[in-house]
Structure formats: C-alpha cells, structure tokens
Structure 1
Amino acid sequence: MDKALLGGNVLTMNEGAPRVEAVGFEKGKIVAAGATAEVSKMVGSDTQVVHLAGRTVIPGFVDPHNHFSFTTFQPVSVDCSVPPHVSINGVLDAIGAAAKSAPPGQWIWGWGFNARAMEGHRRITRKQLDEVAPDNPVTIEDSSVHAAYANTAALRLAGIDRNTPDPDHGQILRDDNGEPDGTLWEEALNSVYNLSLRAHLEQYGDYAVDLVRQNCQRYMAAGITSVGDALVLPEAAEMYRQADTLGKLPFRMHQMLGGDGFFSAPSRVASGDTGDGNVSDRLRGGTMKIFMDPVFPSPALIQEHPHGDHEHIGARYYTQEEADIIVLAAHRRGLQVAIHCLGTWSIEQALNAFEAALKAHPASEPRFRIEHYSLPTLEQIRRTASMGVVSVMQPAFVYTGAVRGQERAEELGGGALVFPFKTMLAEGVIVAASSDFPCAPLEPLTGIYAVVTRKTRLGEGPIVPDEAVTPLEALKMYTLNAAYAMNREHEVGSIETGKRADLAVLSHDPTSVDPDFIREISVEQTYVDGELLHNR
C-alpha cells in the first residue's frame, strides 16, 4: 500500500458501506476502505500514513459542466466582475489601465461584467471602450458567457459594421444611428471571441499550457478532481492537447465538442467530420454540446395564460425538425448528446429530439444529458426520468439567481418549478451537479450550501424551501451522479476498491454541521490518482 488515510470520517458514496474510517491506495487506485484497524493491517514499512484526526474524506468532486477554457486566461485578463465592481466607470478604469501597459494592437480581454446587475441594466458601449482603449481591440465577456462587449477596433477586426446583418441566432445591438453599439448577443459574438482567443494563444505561446496547469490548481483547491469543459473550440482543444503532451494536465478533462464558433451549430461534430475528442487517459471526449435556447433576449419558454391557452415565447436556436436531425446524426455516431436548455420550451424540444433519436436508432444507454434544466414542469421531470436522461444542473444558481428564477416561474404560470432538486430526485431523475463557472461560483461547497439552505448570496430565502435536499444528497450529486453524467462512474465518484484514488479531505463534515456553515468548510487536501496535488 502506497498511502493510507487513517482515523477519519470517510463518506464513500457507496451504499454498501456509506461511512468508514480509513482508506488506502496503491498505484493510484483504492485498495482498502474500512475501519482504521482493518486498513492499518495493510500498512507496510514504505506506506505513507496520513492521520486525519477526525477530518472528513469524500470522493473528489466531479464538475461535468463548466467553462475551463474560458477561465484559463483570467490571470492575464481584466477582472470586470460585478461585484466587486459597482459602476461602469470602475470597469472602464480597469480596462484603461490594461491598455496603457499594452502595446498598440494587442488584444485586451475582460471577463465577468454583468449588465443585469447594474442600475438600469446599463451596458458598456463601444464608444466608452474606445475612449479608454483607442489603440487596442477590446472584448469583455459577460458573466453569462452569452454576451460580449467590444470596441471599434475589435468589431473592425471581426468584420462587424452597420451593414453586417444579425446572425440567425444572435443580435448585434445598435445605436440610434444604426451603428453597432458594442454589445453582441449569442452567435453574434462568435467572431470576436474566436479572434481574442487566438490572439491570446499567439501572445502567450508555450506559457498558455502553464496557465492551464494553474487553472487546474484552482479547481483542485476547491476539491475538484475531474472536469468537463462544456464547449471546447478547436483552438482550445489544441491548447489542451499541448498541455496533456507536456504533462500539464494533472486531472481528467472531458471535452464537450461544439461548432467552430462558440454558438455555432455542431454540424461537423455530429456528422463525423471531426474527431470525438478522445485523446488520452487524461484528455477525453465523446460528447457533443448543442444550445437549444439563448440567454438573450430570452430563453425558450412556455407561457400559460389564465384562460388555459399556452403560448411559446422567447427565442430558440433550432426548430424541432432541425434539432431532431442534428441529435440523431450525433447519436448514430455513438456520441453522447448534451443539450443546453434554460426554458420549458427548450426542455420540451430536447426531450422530443432524444425520443426521436432513440426511436430511429435504439440504444441501451445513450446517457443523453440536459444542461441547466432551469424551469421544468412536473410532467417534464417525469418524462426525463422515464427516458433515463441525465439532468446536469447548477446548485450555485440558487445562490446567485433563485429570486429571479422564482419571479420568472410565477410569470410563466403552468407549473414551472424553481430549481426543483428534491422533486427531481424523488421522481427518479439522475441529477448531476456542476458549477458552470464562471457563470456561477466554482466551489462545490457553495453549491451544496445553496441547495441545502435554499439561500442566496444576499441572504435571501429560503427560496422554495420544499425543494431543499439533504447534504448527503447534494454530495452525491457532485460526486457519483456527476461522474455518471460523464460516463465515469466505474472510475470515480465513490470511494470503493478498484476505483481511482481521487479524494478530497475536508475540515468538517457537511452532513453534520449547521447547514449555514457548509460554505465555510475548507478543502484541506486533494488527491488525484493517489497523488497529493493540493495541500492547504
């Protein structure tokens, strides 16, 4: 035995032995999990022994939906987050400071701005960015990842001007004179984002893989040992390949492949014109991501009127026929299909497309996924369970947006439910938890706090307290269920002999502390394949 963790409180997520005292591993695999006295018998002269002193050990958190490639360049980009920024002027000052130290023509990339959090939902305009950065292309990614704010130089490089038509699934917002005002929604931001990503890869060269490694360290500090990047562009895929080749990818990265632009249709992936993303043991793929509805101007929703009629409102990326075609093509190819759905209408279309694909091409376990699943109805939940579709949700959205979610559900009527975790589990849906970082906080313990207490970061709540789950249920969503969503439950997600020794050591037991304290629990150690890669 290479290493033994003794004298602890080990929450295994294994129903056969849910709570033990010790765990031992060898050559990256778990070889023992049981009482301290039993595991101690396997300790040899070369075994490294860690005395836990009552600390809690859990399987390493699995994050099946986040935007790792988006956040890789954050250390060399401008933090425009709201909060801590409270005004547009503060954001502009930060962009201006970056521009003063950058040579002319160098891209400046900002992240985290949230117009919806500003008074009057004020957006940053092209002209404002021009004033503080006249000699550099600038793009600021919205915290939703579904909008960007660009200056004239960036728009010019992207070929966007007053004569550029809106794309099919996006919008170039314009001023009173018909000129682009700098805000790009959905598919309209593809070219600006691609250009800024390529510019950063060229600027930082080999250092980009070091930034990947640094980002991995941030995830491991949160106890995360497996990651699913929810949309990997070709440029990001190459960055990951280089990191993997150079040994800078310490944990497993699951690539979800999409189109050549962030919001483009993944037609080439579905048809087999590209690879499936499976590169090595560390760098994996096999999943196609598709957007069914946008954030801006509105997700695809079903409005129920008082007299009983239903109305489809908001926008969608695909008609039902278009969705059916692309899902079936990917399904025939053997790819897992993950569909981004924010509204009730988009959920309905996704379930229809999955059903049609299975009818045309039966498969025993396609493991279809719906990402976000924000406002489902009870009927949709039961249909999801009956079809074995995995729901990949974000508990931290309760922390950041439960009040708005409740308001929207009330506006819609028709039984739309607000982050209904308890109902979904009760109905038999496999609910996997993820962060969607940077759209919500990265730390799983924040999400667990939110889904257990149903409280927001402003202290509001509990919001729909009947949908609260237990801490143990929340832990399972972030470990075993999340691994299941990535087809990895045979490797990780629980502490059992034969599985990989991916573990996190916590300062306290989330299942026994005051729920309001869960967010304060610290991740003291993180092991990947038995190697200690984070030590607080």
Structure 2
Amino acid sequence: MKLNSLPDGFLLNNKKATLFISNIVTVNKDQPSAEAVAVIDERIVAVGDFCQVENYLVSNNIAFEINNSFKDKVLVPGFIEAHMHTFMTAAFQARIYYVGQVDRSSTSGELVKASVTRDEFITRLKEVVADYESKPEAERSPWVDCWGFDPLLIQDGIELNKYLLDEICPNYPLAIVHASMHLFSVNSKGIELCGYSVDDDAHFIERTDEGDVTGNIAEMEAGMRIFHKGGINLQGTDEELQSFMIKLSEKQVAMGVTTMIDAGAGLPFDTMPLYKAVSEREDMLVRHHPYPLIENNKLEDVLQYRLNSTPMMSVKRVKFVTTDGSIQGFTAYLPEKSTYYNNHGNGVIQRTQEQIYDAVLPYHKAGFNVSFHCNGNGTTEVLLDMIERLQEAYPRENARHCLEHNQLVTEEQLARMKKLGVVHNLFTMHMAIWGDVHANETVGPQVVKSMEPCRSSINHGVRFSIHSDDSVTECNPLFNMWTAVNRTNIFSNITYGEYQKLTAEEALEAVTLGAAYISDEDHLKGSIEPGKLADFAILEHSPMDVDVMKIKDISVLGTVLGGKVQLSKF
C-alpha cells in the first residue's frame, strides 16, 4: 500500500493531528483502501497503512493522538445528500401532520406508520383533525396542514377532492402537500381563502367536467397561494426554525450524511439567513450547500453568498425550478404530442425556452453552474437545446450544468449530455417507491426499465449522483444505494431494469464522489484523500462486503465531520 499525503514540509502550523485507524474505503481509484488517515484542522493530510502515516507525521514533527475506536468498523467518505429540501423537510417533520403511504422515521427516530388503504388514510385524516381540534386555539396553525400523500400508492384506490375533504374537515381550511411536492389538495374553505376558480389555468387548477374546481392544485406557482394564505404554516421564530434544523442534523448523523444539499433554497420563503445562522452553531452536525433559486434571487446577492462561503455553508451553484412537474403527478413534460401510458394528457413546461435562457444567462456568464428541475424527457430536450445555446453564445470550459431527476432521459440524450458536459442527478428512489406505479400507470412496463439510467450514464461517460429529494422520499443514502443496486420495488418485490443496475462500489461513489462532482465540490469532498475535508461515515460493514439485498440494513454508527467524531443518538 502506498502512502498518499500532502508534501513534506507543507504543515507548518504545529497543530496536533488525529490518526484514525479503521478499514477505510477511500473512493479514490488511485488508492481504493487504507487502514489509517491523519487529520489536522478539519483536513486530511495523509492516507495509507498505519506505519506509513505514523512515519509521515513523525518525520514532519507533528504530534498526534490515535483514535482506534473504529478499528473493527468501516470508514467511507461522508455521504452527501445530493438533492433534498432541507428546511422544508425539517419544518414538515417538526410541525406538519404526515399522512403518507410509506413508513418514515421522525427527527426523534420514531417510526411514523403509513396509511396504505383508503380506509386507513381516511382514518388517519380524521385523527389529524381531532388532534388539531384538541389543541388550544392559540396553539393551532391557521390551517390543518398535512404532507406526504400520494393517491397512486393507495392500494385500493382513492379519489381525493374537496368533497371528501369537506366530509372529514368541514370547519377549518385543510391542505395536503402531496409526496411529489408538485401537487396539493385543499377543501372548500381552503379554495375560498386562496381564491381558486374556473378562471385559473386548467393545467394547474383541476376542475370537473361540469366546471367545478375540485381542490386539486398542480405545481408550486399555483400552490404558493396556499402558503401565502397561511396554509402549510412553516413560519416561526428564529429559535424555533433553527431548532428544527438542528434536530434534522441529528437524524442525518444516524444516516451517515455529512453534507445536505438544498436543491432549491428559497421555498416557501428566503431561507439563506437561516442557513447562515445554523451553520455558525456548534450544535449543527452537518454541512449545508444550498442552491439559491434563480427565480427568487438577484445575481448580486448570490455572488455575495458565494463570496461568503465557508466549509459549513457553501454556495457554489444555483437552481432553476419552474420547468415541468412530476411523473407520478402526470405533470412532467414528455416529448411533444406524447401521452402517458394510461392516456393521461402530457404535462407542460411552465416557462418557454427563451424565458429560461434569459433567466439563466447572467448566472452562466458569472461562472455559476445551474441545476435545472427536469423530470420528463421532453423537458430534457428543451434544456439541452437551451444549454447548447448558452455554450455557443458564451463558451465555458468545464461547465457542469446539471439536470435534476432526469428520470426519462434517453440514450440519444445521454450522448448529447456527454458532448455538452452536462451532468445529472438521478432519482433512483422512484424504483423502490413508484416502480409499480410507473409500470402500470405513468410510463408503462417497458419504459420503466430504462428509468433512472445509471448504467447507461456510465456507458456514455456522463457523471451522476443519486438522491432522495427529501421530503419526497426519506434521506437515507444506504437505502438509496440499495435501490440503485437492486432496482426492486418495496411493495411488489418486482425488479425493473436489470441492465441499469449499479454495483455496490458504483453506488457508493454515486452518493459520495459523484455527489461532490455534480455540486462542484469534488476538490473538497467525496473521497478520502489528502487536502479534502475529513468527513466520514462510520459503518458496521462495507457495502461491498454484504449481500446486495442487505446494503440498506448496514448499521450507521455516526459520522466524522472535519475530524470530529459524532456518534448517532438513534
């Protein structure tokens, strides 16, 4: 085993090193494994076998202490959650009633059970309303607020609309954010408060054949009216909001996560001051990398955020979100004149290519890489055409514009992406949660096999990561790795797309170095090598040493963040 270290004489600060002894998986192809890693001032300075690293420290007159607490465990690079909605996830779990169809763990580690049949869901909603009514009026939110619902995951089917919601909750406005985060359902009192009517765009405000508004709302622009009228109440004092974030960071330690990327910072309000405040707290256990929304920010402000970046809160890229919607909501944009498998009409793009180009161009010229929301392959084509225009007008070497989700990208589009230097962030968790839905309802039994094309991305040389999109699905990188390796649906145990499976080693790279690469931080994170931040996940077993069906069951003992050990509280 060779020593990998900073040059002799590089370290002149006379500070003490910590020498970790463990079974180390580096995700560094030049040095795949090691047994020792030395850390000074949050940074890795040497990696190799114990004698090599010890001799390096001694020869450079560096005092050190040995941490062999994990000598029988496994250290891997800290997991990077490459796409979530950090504040919304923290606030939802702290304040909003969960009514979803998949079990989730709360920020205190308790299991929140799913409601998977129509009767279970209605019972759950009635329990929510009863709990809301039992609170003193001064402690209630203005609305009965719920999240996590997906009608396609109700086993015996359900038609959710204002008529059903009015039966359950006639006296208070009620709002449900669907699991996709692209759809909302409100009762009649909610409709009245928000002013939804038949005069609104029918693409976004559903109505019956008779022209009556149903209470089902599509996409964030229309859904924001609920937030503005007091629904989905995420407001609070600075102390309250920071406490939500701290609790979430404790949960992420139990998942092995050392960096959370908010791929859309600014919803439902400006969260950048909150990220700055929590990143400066001693009890914040995870690094933050928010992507400010182009739609909600000024370039000069984002430039200042980038200038003020720190290891605990970095701003390296931006997000453009108002493109298409979600596949399971039938609002993702497919190729022109296409329909969904069940003959549901195509989705729409909320902005024209010209509008997207004009909004993005100043950021491209300023050196920012842009992450674009993108679900349907019709949107993929529009965005690739637009990125090609950007590069023709203002060429940038090594630009890494990213398509977020990009679930239906084709082989031809992957070839274009490689040529344009575009990367993407695949939503493999869909195979585990919505694989059956996609096979039977949205895209059909053939197309579902090529969704989330990880193997094809490798074949085309397109760099990628995988993500949870929490609060859409729960942030759990080992479960996400399991999904990418097995592509098995948790409800039916059916495997979709054997030929797109990853190996365990490739899946580990996707949630570490791949995530660092697509977020422009591969010089700092993603692998265990000198000069990078000393961020590790502490595992009971290596994902490469267990049966592939057991990857999701590997115990996480905690993390190391900048050389500081943080053991899981769960």
**TM-score, L = length of structure 1:** 0.88
* Structure 1 unpaired stretches of 5+: 260-265, 306-311
Matches within 5 A, 1:52-201: 52-73=70-91, 74-83=93-102, 84-86=114-116, 87-104=120-137, 106-107=141-142, 108-119=144-155, 121-134=157-170, 136-157=172-193, 159-162=194-197, 165-166=200-201, 171-174=204-207, 178-186=211-219, 187-196=221-230, 199-201=233-235
Deviations 1:32-87 (A, max 9, x none): 21112333454887625123243211000111211112211212221111131133
1:15 correspondence with 2:34: no
Identify which of 50, 73, 78 aligns with 2:68.
50
What is the DSSP-based 3-state SS (H/G/I as helix, E as strand, rest coil) of the residue aligned with 1:429?
coil
Deviations 1:486-507 (A, max 9, x none): 1111111000111111001111
TM-aligned CA deviation for residue 154 of structure 1: 3.7
Deviations 1:208-265 (A, max 9, x none): 1011111111122111111111212233333323323555543321222226xxxxxx
1:535 correspondence with 2:533: no
The count of aligned residue pairs is 518
* Structure 2 unpaired stretches of 5+: 1-15, 103-113, 339-344
Deviations 1:97-125 (A, max 9, x none): 33123344623321111111125642443
Report the residue type matching 1:65 in the other structure. H
Report the residue type matching 2:94 in the other structure. P
Distance in 2 of aligned mates of 1:361 and 1:90:
57
Report the residue type matching 1:238 in the other structure. P
Q: Do the aligned partners of 2:152 and 2:437 also contact (CA within 8 Å) in 1?
A: no
1:27 correspondence with 2:41: yes
Deviations 1:326-377 (A, max 9, x none): 2323312333211111111110011111110111111112210001111111
Match of 1:291 in 2: 322
Distance in 2 of aligned mates of 1:472 and 1:197:
44
Distance in 2 of aligned mates of 1:417 and 1:300:
17
Q: Do the aligned partners of 1:406 and 1:418 also contact (CA within 8 Å) in 2?
A: no
Match of 2:515 in 1: 482
Distance in 2 of aligned mates of 1:200 and 1:332:
35
1:209 correspondence with 2:223: no
Q: Do the aligned partners of 2:175 and 2:231 also contact (CA within 8 Å) in 1?
A: no
Distance in 2 of aligned mates of 1:502 and 1:512:
22
Match of 1:241 in 2: 276
Identify which of 14, 18, 23 aligns with 1:3.
18
> Percent identity over the alignment?
24
Q: Do the aligned partners of 1:161 and 1:179 also contact (CA within 8 Å) in 2?
A: no
Q: Do the aligned partners of 1:198 and 1:235 also contact (CA within 8 Å) in 2?
A: no
Q: Do the aligned partners of 1:269 and 1:288 also contact (CA within 8 Å) in 2?
A: no
Alignment RMSD (CA, Å): 2.9
Distance change >3 Å, CA 368–CA 50, structure 1 → 2: same
Distance in 2 of aligned mates of 1:450 and 1:19:
24
Distance in 2 of aligned mates of 1:476 and 1:510:
11
Deviations 1:488-528 (A, max 9, x none): 11111000111111001111111121111111101112011
Distance in 1 of aligned mates of 2:336 and 2:65:
62
TM-aligned CA deviation for residue 15 of structure 1: 1.5
Q: Could you tell which deviates more after superposition, 459-468 or 342-351?
A: 459-468
Q: Do the aligned partners of 2:175 and 2:232 also contact (CA within 8 Å) in 1?
A: no
Q: Do the aligned partners of 2:145 and 2:232 also contact (CA within 8 Å) in 1?
A: no
Distance in 2 of aligned mates of 1:453 and 1:118:
24
Report the residue type matching 2:20 in the other structure. L
TM-aligned CA deviation for residue 474 of structure 1: 0.8
**TM-score, L = length of structure 2:** 0.83
What is the DSSP-based 3-state SS (H/G/I as helix, E as strand, rest coil) of the residue aligned with 1:398?
helix
Distance change >3 Å, CA 192–CA 164, structure 1 → 2: farther
Identify which of 537, 544, 548 aligns with 1:504.
537
Q: Do the aligned partners of 2:95 and 2:234 also contact (CA within 8 Å) in 1?
A: no
Match of 2:452 in 1: 419
TM-aligned CA deviation for residue 175 of structure 1: 5.1
What is the DSSP-based 3-state SS (H/G/I as helix, E as strand, rest coil) of the residue aligned with 1:21?
strand
Distance change >3 Å, CA 57–CA 364, structure 1 → 2: same
Matches within 5 A, 1:342-357: 342-357=375-390
Distance in 2 of aligned mates of 1:317 and 1:57:
44
Matches within 5 A, 1:452-531: 452-531=485-564
Match of 2:108 in 1: none
Distance in 2 of aligned mates of 1:175 and 1:275:
47
Report the residue type matching 2:27 in the other structure. M
Distance change >3 Å, CA 516–CA 413, structure 1 → 2: closer
Identify which of 271, 285, 288 aligns with 1:253.
288
Distance in 1 of aligned mates of 2:530 and 2:206:
56
Distance in 1 of aligned mates of 2:283 and 2:224:
28
What is the DSSP-based 3-state SS (H/G/I as helix, E as strand, rest coil) of the residue aligned with 1:112?
strand
Q: Could you tell which deviates more after superposition, 126-135 or 232-241?
A: 126-135
What is the DSSP-based 3-state SS (H/G/I as helix, E as strand, rest coil) of the residue aligned with 1:438?
coil
Report the residue type matching 2:293 in the other structure. G
Q: Could you tell which deviates more after superposition, 516-525 or 449-458?
A: 449-458
Distance in 2 of aligned mates of 1:124 and 1:277:
42
Distance in 2 of aligned mates of 1:334 and 1:196:
38
TM-aligned CA deviation for residue 23 of structure 1: 1.5
Distance in 2 of aligned mates of 1:425 and 1:78:
40
Distance change >3 Å, CA 402–CA 118, structure 1 → 2: closer
Match of 2:479 in 1: 446
Identify which of 351, 356, 363 aligns with 1:318.
351
Q: Do the aligned partners of 1:149 and 1:183 also contact (CA within 8 Å) in 2?
A: yes
Q: Could you tell which deviates more after superposition, 500-509 or 245-254?
A: 245-254
Distance in 1 of aligned mates of 2:217 and 2:551:
38
Distance change >3 Å, CA 115–CA 181, structure 1 → 2: same
What is the DSSP-based 3-state SS (H/G/I as helix, E as strand, rest coil) of the residue aligned with 2:452?
coil
Distance in 2 of aligned mates of 1:216 and 1:535:
11
